[in-house]
Amino acid sequence: MEFSTDYETHAERIVDLFGATFTASEGAEEGALIGGLVRRLIAETPGDDLRVFTAWEDRALLGGILFSRLAYEGDPRTVFMMAPVAVATEHQGKGLGQQLISHGLDVLKQEGVDIEPPRVYRRVCGSMITLLFRQRSSLRRMPPLLRSV
């Protein structure tokens, strides 16, 4: 298995993976919603505000994870949120999701990101992780992706 950050070349395959995975687990409406969200994140989010990691084997896309930057007015921190995550249905239950999360977090740590999982998420939703940058760069607002979703 190989990890990749080249999401632009494979954007449609990534969107299809998320749509199919969420359709299989949550139904067609949710699959379309999550597929649409991933499509908009990839198409409309500036590259500095998005990290996409995918897992591949023999040219088959096995899974993907997106980290998107959030900005809060008056808050000097820069925050990345991990969501969504998808593993192809036939590859679930093999630890691939955890491998993707670990790989993504490792790469972000190498970029200087301070990984800080809030206690409430650890208790309520273990896979939700907020990433905080140490740097105090100027804050940018996230594009209004969710307004029309």
pLDDT tens profile 5-53: 999 999 999 999 999 999 999 999 999 999 999 999 999 999 999 999 9
The letter for the amino acid at 26 is E
Average pLDDT over residues 113-126: 52
What are residue 2's DSSP bridge partners? 56
Q: How far apart are the first and last CA of the chain?
A: 33
- pLDDT at residue 20, rounded to an integer: 98
Q: Give the Cα separation of 41 and 23 in Å (integer).
A: 19
- pLDDT at residue 119, rounded to an integer: 52
103-111, long-range: CB < 8 A, 24+ apart? 103/3, 103/53, 103/55, 104/51, 104/53, 104/65, 104/67, 105/129, 105/131, 107/5, 107/51, 107/53, 108/51, 108/67, 108/80
* Domain range 2-142, CATH architecture: 3-Layer(aba) Sandwich (3.40)
Instruction: Give the pLDDT band of residue 142 (cuts 50, 70, 90).
Output: very low
Tokens of 100: 């993707």
